Structure 1
Amino acid sequence: MKRVKAPCIARCTSISRRIVTQNLVLGLRAIHGSHAAKPIIHVERADVYHFGSVQRSEAIFKDLTWTVNAGEAWAIVCNSNATRGEIFQMLLGRRRISPVPSKGLYPFLSISGQSSKDLEQGAVLHVAFASKKRIAGGGFTDYTARYGAMRDQDGRTLRDSLLESLANEPLAAPPTEFTPLETRAAHENAIPKDQCQEIDQVAEKLHLVPQLDLPLIALSNGQQRRARILRSLIRHPRLLLLEDPFAGLDVVQRPLLSNLLGQLNSEQDPFVVMELRPQDPMPEWITHVAVVDGQNFRLMARQDYSPFVQTDSLATSSASPVQSPTNASQEPLMDLNDVRIHYGKREVLRDVNWTIRPGDRWWLRGANGSGKTTLLSVLTGEHPQSYTQRHFRMFGKPRSQVPTVSIQRKVAVFTPEIFAAFPRKLGQGAMTARDAIGTGFENTYSYRSLNVEQMAAREELILRLAPGSTNEDKWQWSLTPFAELPPPEQALALFMRTLVAKAPILILDEVFGGMDDQMIKSCSDYLRDSIGQDQAVIFVSHWEHEIPWADVQKYQLAEGTGSVSVQK
């Protein structure tokens, strides 16, 4: 059924209920000037605990003192995986503070006649991009369904999703060509214009206007990250907490987002506090830095902060250049000629030509929305249109003649989608870290028993890459339930899952996102020194310094079309 395009105002009447709440927020802003001296955040000599912990020895932080004032711009840099995200968990009320701050955690929200608890409803919003632990029963989510859903012209758009978030309930069905004119007119006049105009205005600042009317599931990873920030901004928070906001963004979008956040913070609309990785560039507008090292919480002015030093590449100068055996006698592992992927009239990929041979080291790069995720779904055989490509051969055969289960065993993949979708069941039947690594032999998402040879290969990887100073530490880590690991260590376990079977092709998409610098160095060393000479690697990253190899072939995507060059 063909969908009739309706303007932004054609949605749900219940959004008007949101106006009352937003007027309250706007009213609070109007009187904010008289309370400008009140701190935004204030904690003084407090211990921070998980709920249920009572012994001081169990405290996450001890004697924590921290004040954030208006006119300041704060970034938190966490050097410890164990305490990453804990400051934000405290700010969100998910950790116990002892003693409780006498004037509330957010003094600037304490206005006569209103309690902080009442005002914090929607006044403090949190956007995190790392996966959270799931409750018992948290099974695998089929992320490949997105490719089928994108063929549906009635797919839920980003605009629909934003309007639903304002309404706090699902939208009524959008009008179609069969909707009576009077019903269509009622739809179009249901929502205040200023609400819809604001969505357009904020989307323009985040460079998301072209994506507003695309199916939400069709957005790239970077676009989805910006969309989550957009969703928060249109709800008018007083304080916005952002974890790893620049991870997964291309070199164009990173400074644009940074400048926007700096402007919002300077205008106090909203105040912004970010948590960054040690390797992330520090935005110029940041005035103060809080460095978290285990239980230590060090506060300093921006000029006193010593940032992580990034080299041009993680490849060391002593590393031997990759010798890719790309002569004509090598049978290609994959050969794409004139590959084209489209949804109706919209082309996502066109005229893609790419040959991948044993031993190749490729850096796949491109701006957010350039088609990288779609291209990877073709290489893994997950995209439905991969079957219909006339000139796409995999392992010497046309794609249509290669069973999907065979592809899964020959192409090992790490992507943000797999990281988000991997089962995180807790309780009985939960997988340990070593169980999760072992699923890589068959590319499954549930426990599988291994033979002696497979167990030996898994243990070798664990002893090489797992965190810990001794083999006993590494072994104990591998017995930890996967869902209980911090997100960076979950990423490390899934990285080992990708390596364990020594598949002919490795696809590593933003594999270092969320890892600390020591993890990145260990994993990069392994990729450079221990990957088989006959294995091909496709490495996807927006950060040049993450590339493990001194010499690498580059496949650049721009607006759905690819080109080949050599990075030296």
Structure 2
Amino acid sequence: MPGLTTRPPIIRIANGTFYRQHPNSVTPASKTHQHSNPPLFSNLTFELPSHPAKPHNWAIVGPSLSGKSTFLQVLRGSHLCFPPTARSFPYLATDSVPHRLRNPAKAIKYVGFDDTTSGYGSVTTTAYLSARYESRREETDFSLLDFLTGNTEFNPSTGLEDEEKIDDALLARVVRDLRLEPLLQLPVAFLSNGQGRRARIARALLTSPEVLMLDEPFMGLDPPTVAGLSPLLKDLADKRQPRLVLSARPQDPLPDWITHLVYLRTDCQVGAMGDKETVLEGLKKYVRGVKKGGLADDDTLPVHALVEMGRVLTSNGIQGEGIGEDYIATSPGVTLVKEELKTELGEPLVEMNGCQVRYGDKIALGNWTEQRDGSEAKGLHWTVRRGERWGVFGPNGSGKTTIVSLLCSDHPQTYSLPIKLFGRSRLPEPGSGQIPLTFWDIQSRVGHSSPEIHQHVPRRLTIRQVIESAWADTFISRPKMDAAAKAQVDATLRWFEPELNPDFTRHDAALRNQETPASTLFWSEDHLFGGISFSAQRLLLFLRALVKHPDIIVLDEAYSGMDDALRDKCMLFLQYGEEKMYAPSADKKGDVIMDNPGKVTVKGLNDQQALIVISHVKEEVPDCVREWICLPEANTGKPARFGRLDGPLGKDRKRWAEIWSV
């Protein structure tokens, strides 16, 4: 339309450089305790138009540690800008914008899934992990409808202003498309991980901001929900109500309505920016150049992360191939599963014999009847034995997280349901002569990583304290560790320093090879959990679940937020510990896996451990998983389905389709 392109942009950045701290505040103090304050996105020029003649729907893409969340925060006004005048929000000062949205903090909404930054954590996060499973409702247990409409104040002094009221038509549309209707009267604390993500997206949409920034919005959502969410976002993008900016990992398929890309390097600098096709073509030429040997592989622009870049999320599913489909990259899914599967079954570690989890008249898990041994049996029947590797699948709200809460004994109904953990019940059994298991017994034998655990980790803990808490009763109590345990923690920190240490550089690594091992780990006590990136936080919780070698390892969406390179390194560590490592290929055809020539302190899974993995992404299921259970959608009355894989799941679409019955 004539004249529209002359309106000022919503966001304008002209040759700006950003810092987390003022650059003059970092003094040359002791080298061992000085945190780096590198420039972020140096000399960045970026505009988000308010009324473009053609669509401008941006996606910010980059591997782990590239600063995707930081880039979104820079766009909405966070972090220091030099020069200060380089960043402005001219459109927000015009009469076209309601008065309540003149402030960038209100006009530009950010929705992430680290509750410390999402802005909704105070409502959606409970005081303690098991509170979400209790039947008694507290006064602070606001319903989902209250949350969506902003009715979460005690004794509000005034009612909502007319311009702040939620449009009923928009509420109905958002609730329908995000499949939230059956949940409106539930307390927010009762929602599953995937349901909570949908709720936060819905709440942001209902505030009608000028710009909505969604940090990896499809992470942790089941395929049906993604299929409903993407068209809703497209409709909003087409209407510019609001304008959308997404972030994604390189391996994530991008919605077909995305028109422009920013690809970030691992040093928090822009690698490429512009319209989508131009950026993808440039990255494809780079991948081909590295493959043929004409270009050097830039450490800040790893080719491995680009292999799957370029796939498209359409209304008919995921289409297209990655820009590096002809770049041969060896991954754990191709080379690691060579051992013969065991035929002897170990002793049961988890026994669920007809579990039904009820909240009043609502059955949250086990709402079905199935044939077992010629007779009808109600509820979930499931046994996990030593040495087994299980995948647990199903749509959001089907009960996956509830299962985890039962086997971790976080759920109060664990006491009353027919469940045995490690061959014992939670309550005394007459005549058995067994002492009931305590909560602390169970916690000490189960390693658990999940979004729920992530919400409850104290942000003030150091990196080392988070890992060492695997030997403690709680996150903040003193761990009971011997010399061997401390050696395992040290070895794990060294193995993952490039991903955990925000100050890590290749130059520092070369210097530290000349130092004693103890002197190289000071960073793990300097950096706090709340100060590292989201992917590093997820990595830390993954390592915490493994490092003690517990009887049961539970990985619930443990790889979400990681790029494929970090995910593969974690899977390699899960199966082999320090015994195997990646090494660059001499013929430029990708990384290979080799034996670690150094000392091995931490080993991988053994046949005395059981593994339980929950994921909505087949590539995030370790190759060793063979047994699977798929839970039905809530309230359908259909029974859970069980099966056994004949090979790795990650690279096989047919096996994945069999599990989901599609």
- Match of 1:558, SS? coil
1:553 to 613, 620, 627: 627
Write out aligned runs for 1:259-278 (5 A).
259-278=231-250
Q: Deviations over 1:321-348 (max 9, x none)?
A: 56554646x3211111111101111101
Which residue identity does 2:391 align to in structure 1? Answer: W
Match of 1:85 in 2: 69
- Structure scoring higher RCO (CA < 8 A, sep ≥ 6) equals 1
Which residue, 170, 187, 190 being the options, matches 1:218? 190
Conserved? CA contact 2:493–2:521, under 8 Å: yes
Give the 3 Å change call, closer, same or farther, for CA 252–157 of structure 1 in structure 2. same
| Correspondence for 2:255 among 283, 306, 309 | 283
What are the superposed Cα offsets for residues 541-561 of structure 1, whole Å, 9 maximum, x if unpaired? 100011121552111111354
Q: Which amino acid aligns with 1:442?
A: A
Q: Does 1:531 align with 2:558?
A: no
Aligned-pair CA distance for 1:538: 0.3
Distance between the aligned counterparts of 2:330 and 2:404, measured in 1?
24
Conservation of the 8 A alpha-carbon contact between 1:46 and 1:65: yes
| CA deviations over 1:7-60 (Å, ceiling 9, x no partner) | xxxxxxxxxxxxxxxxxxxxxxxx998566433332121222235224998422
Q: How far has the Cα of 1:243 moved from its partner?
A: 0.7
Identity level (%): 29
Task: Give 1:208's aligned residue.
Answer: 180
The aligned amino acid for 2:400 is K
Tell whether 2:133 aligns with 1:98: no
Deviations 1:501-534 (A, max 9, x none): 1101000101111123332111111123321122
Give the whole-Å Cα distance in 1 for the aligned partners of 2:217 and 2:330.
Answer: 22
Say whether 1:342 aligns with 2:325. no
> For 1:80-111, what per-residue CA distance to the aligned partner results, in whole angstroms no more than 9, with x for missing partners?
51633222221222222233457x63333331
Pick one of 426, 447, 452 that aligns with 1:399.
426
Q: Which residue of 2 aligns with 1:158?
A: 144
Please name the residue that 2:369 is paired with. Answer: none
Deviation at 1:204, TM superposition (A): 1.0
* SS of residue paired to 1:507: strand
1:65 to 45, 49, 60: 45
Aligned to 2:313: none
Aligned pair partner of 2:93 in 83, 105, 110: 110
**Are 2:452 and 1:422 aligned?**
no
After superposition, the Cα gap between the structure-2 partners of 1:517 and 1:460, relative to the gap in structure 1 and judged at 3 Å, is same
In 2, the alpha carbon distance for the partners of 1:239 and 1:193 equals: 18
**Counterparts of 1:505 and 1:72 in 2: how far apart (Å)?**
48
Who is 2:614 aligned against?
A: 540
- Give the alignment partner of residue 320 of structure 1, picking from 337, 348, 369: 337
1:343, 1:322 → 2: CA distance? Answer: 44
- Residue 384 of structure 1 and its aligned partner are, at CA, apart by 1.0
Q: Secondary structure at the match of 1:132?
A: helix
Kept in 1, the 8 Å contact 2:471–2:480? The answer is no
Q: Work out the CA distance in 1 between the residues paired with 2:251 and 2:215.
A: 14
Q: Is the 8 A contact 1:72 1:287 kept in 2?
A: yes
**What is the Cα deviation at residue 121 of structure 1?**
5.6
Cα distance between partner residues in 2 of 1:332 and 1:313: 35
1:140-172 per-position Cα deviation (integer Å, ceiling 9, x unaligned): 951221112566799521002223x2x573378
> 1:454–1:237: structure 2 CA closer, same or farther, 3 Å change rule?
same
Deviation at 1:133, TM superposition (A): 7.8
C-alpha distance in 2, partners of 1:93/1:314? 39
Do the aligned partners of residues 456 and 300 (structure 1) sit closer, same or farther apart at CA in structure 2, a change above 3 Å counting?
same
Q: Tell me, what secondary structure is at the counterpart of 1:46?
A: strand
Q: 1:122 to 1:140 in 2, by over 3 A?
A: closer
* Distance of aligned partners of 1:39 and 1:254 in 2 relative to their CA distance in 1, 3 Å threshold: same
Structure 2: distance between partners of 1:121 and 1:463? 39
Cα distance in 1 for residues equivalent to 2:448 and 2:5: 52
How many residue pairs get aligned? The number is: 509
CA deviations over 1:237-275 (Å, ceiling 9, x no partner): 111011111111111212321221122111101000011
Structure 2 residue 387 is matched with structure 1 residue 359: yes
Task: Confirm or deny: 8 A CA contact 1:412 1:505 kept in the other structure.
Answer: yes
TM-score, length-normalised on structure 1? 0.81
Q: Secondary structure at the match of 2:628?
A: strand
Could you say which residue in structure 2 is the equivalent of 1:129?
113
User: What code does the residue aligned with 2:403 have?
Assistant: L
Match of 1:383 in 2: 411
Distance 1:241 1:142, change over 3 A: same
Looking at structure 1, the residues matched to 163 and 9 of structure 2 have their Cα atoms a distance apart, in angstroms, of: 36
**Structure 2: stretches of 5+ with no match in the other structure:** 27-36, 284-305, 309-321, 367-378, 428-435, 499-503, 514-519, 577-603, 648-662
CA contact (8 A) 1:47 1:98 kept: yes
Partner of 2:23 in structure 1?
53
- The match for 1:374 among 402, 415, 419 is 402
Name 2:34's counterpart in structure 1: none
TM-score (norm: length of structure 2): 0.70
- 8 Å contact from structure 1 (residues 366, 557) kept in 2: yes
1:162-215 alpha-carbon deviations (Å, 9 max, x no partner): 23x2x573378xxxxxxxxxxxxxx9xx99997445422321122211111222
The yes-or-no answer on 1:296 pairing with 2:281 is: no
- SS of 1:94's partner is coil
Give the Cα–Cα distance (whole angstroms) in 2 for the partners of residues 133 and 273 of structure 1: 17
Provide the residue aligned with 1:17 in structure 2: none
2:616 is paired with a residue whose SS is coil
Larger deviation: 549-558 or 471-480?
471-480
Alpha-carbon separation, structure 2, partners of 1:35 and 1:191 = 27
Query: In the TM superposition, what is the alpha-carbon distance from 1:454 to its structure 2 partner?
Result: 1.2
Q: What amino acid does structure 1 have at the position aligned with 2:364?
A: V
* Alpha carbons of structure 1 residues 497 and 44: separation in structure 2 relative to 1, 3 Å: same
Structure 1, gaps ≥5 residues long:
1-30, 173-186, 426-430
Letter in 1 for 2:269: N
Paired residue for 1:13?
Answer: none
Counterpart pick for 2:552 among 492, 505, 511: 505
Q: Tell me by how many angstroms 1:119 deviates.
A: 4.9
Q: Is the 8 A contact 1:321 1:551 kept in 2?
A: no
1: distance between equivalents of 2:185 and 2:307?
A: 39
Distance 1:380 1:96 in 2: 43
> 1:108 and 1:313, CA in 2 relative to 1: closer, same or farther beyond 3 A?
farther
CA RMSD of aligned residues (A): 3.4
Q: Using the alignment, how far apart are the partners of 2:561 and 2:102 within structure 1?
A: 34
Q: Residue 458 of structure 2: SS of its match in structure 1?
A: coil
